[in-house]
Structure 1
């Protein structure tokens, strides 16, 4: 279900049912001559579309901290927004979702998610914002010292079960840590994903056009290989979203 197409009674039903609400997080970043700027976002949105009415999908956020680590701005396909500008936006969004009653919110990201354990600017900005929003909501609702009161004595048990307030908003990489599907930048893995998910955006004849080492494996990509990656991501998302 797309949130932007839902009416109030449908949103209220989703909140009551605890349906996962998912924000696709992405960036606009140079992905060689053969792939579009939105690879990292398209990989998330197109795979989430396959979950259909199992989830509520929020309008995607496309303008993360891409960085100029891969390429500078000269290609026109990298739009970098500093993480410091993202935190207040994400915090306001998270606070709004909490006030609306959502308690099963997730963000899914592909960009730089090979470093998800340590975090990279876009996902760190979202996670900090979500924690800030939750802390502020709890203090406003329950008062200062809310965690230290006797009625929170089961907090650690709740935490172990994943039912404490800090699970209201979570972030996940699109893929689980694996040695099955190649994780790369505009190489075989991402090119295969686009061939499976958005083939109209791929121009294989331009692979390697003015690009360095990171596109060298792109010619090996096939739609069938990409579909294997899609299925791996879907199984992972169903698990982390509790579907």
Structure 2
């Protein structure tokens, strides 16, 4: 279900049943001559489109602008960079509305600088926003000393479950480290990411333009293939089926 298409009663029902709410966490960034600047965001929305066919979930509007950085190219390339502190506060505000609105099963799914599922500025900002919010929410709703009260004597028994408040919001990569290994690799605007995008949104990858790339990270985009892209989509889906619950 797309959140923007849902009516109030449908949203309330999803909250009560703890249906997963998924937020695509993307960027606008230069992806060589051959792939659209929305690649990081679109590969998430594309995989979620496929995951929706087999799993009940609410897909929230994507966060298009992010902490892209100018590591790949400057602003003249079309990359849009948001300062990490401003971004963290923005994510915090979105998550706060959801949590206080009764959503207790949120997944922030990222695909930018997530090699080996490592933590980088954008994903760290999401983690910090989530933990800060949950601490404030629990103190606000349960009072100071909530964790130390006897009401939470079963805290460790519930660790990692839906009853654990620190599991209300999870920040995960679109492709886990395990999925990346199954795919055979991971890159930026190279054959892997380009193939993933090609399988999901073929009109946003121009195979002819791959020949124009001279930068090291995009040179092997000439090896972009539908077969590899479909394999990567399947690897992502298999992992996300288990992670998103």
Q: Shorter-chain TM-score: what band? A: over 0.9
**After the TM superposition, which of the residue ranges 32-41 and 154-163 deviates more from structure 2?**
154-163
Task: Work out the CA distance in 2 between the residues paired with 1:164 and 1:111.
Answer: 28
- TM-score scaled to structure 2, two decimals? 0.94
Look up the match of 1:27: 27
Look up the match of 2:210: 207
Retained in 1: the 8 A contact 2:207–2:224? no
1:130-184 Cα offsets, whole Å, 9 max, x none, are 1111111110111111111122111111115463100001011011213231200
Cα 1:160–1:180 shift into 2, 3 Å:
closer
Which of 223, 226, 229 in structure 2 is aligned with 1:226?
Answer: 229
Secondary structure of 2:158 counterpart: helix
Look up the match of 1:197: 200
1:10-60 Cα offsets, whole Å, 9 max, x none, are 011111211100000000111100011011101100110112261100000
Secondary structure of 2:85 counterpart: helix
**After the TM superposition, which of the residue ranges 58-67 and 147-156 deviates more from structure 2?**
147-156
Secondary structure of 1:33 counterpart: coil
Secondary structure of 1:40 counterpart: helix
Matched, 1:69 2:71: yes
Matched, 1:158 2:174: no
Look up the match of 1:167: 167
Q: CA deviation at 1:209?
A: 2.5
Look up the match of 1:97: 98
**Which residues of structure 2 form unaligned runs of 5+?**
none
1:103-131 Cα offsets, whole Å, 9 max, x none, are 111110110111534x1111111111111
Alignment of 1:101-116 (within 5 A): 101-114=102-115, 116=117
- TM-score scaled to structure 1, two decimals? 0.95
Say what the alpha-carbon RMSD is for the aligned residues: 1.4
Matched, 1:188 2:191: yes
Look up the match of 2:36: 36
Look up the match of 2:61: 59
Q: CA deviation at 1:201?
A: 0.9
Retained in 1: the 8 A contact 2:160–2:167? no
Secondary structure of 1:157 counterpart: coil
**After the TM superposition, which of the residue ranges 205-214 and 47-56 deviates more from structure 2?**
205-214
Retained in 2: the 8 A contact 1:83–1:121? yes
Task: Work out the CA distance in 2 between the residues paired with 1:163 and 1:70.
Answer: 41
Matched, 1:10 2:13: no
Q: Count how many residue pairs are aligned between Structure 1 and Structure 2.
A: 240
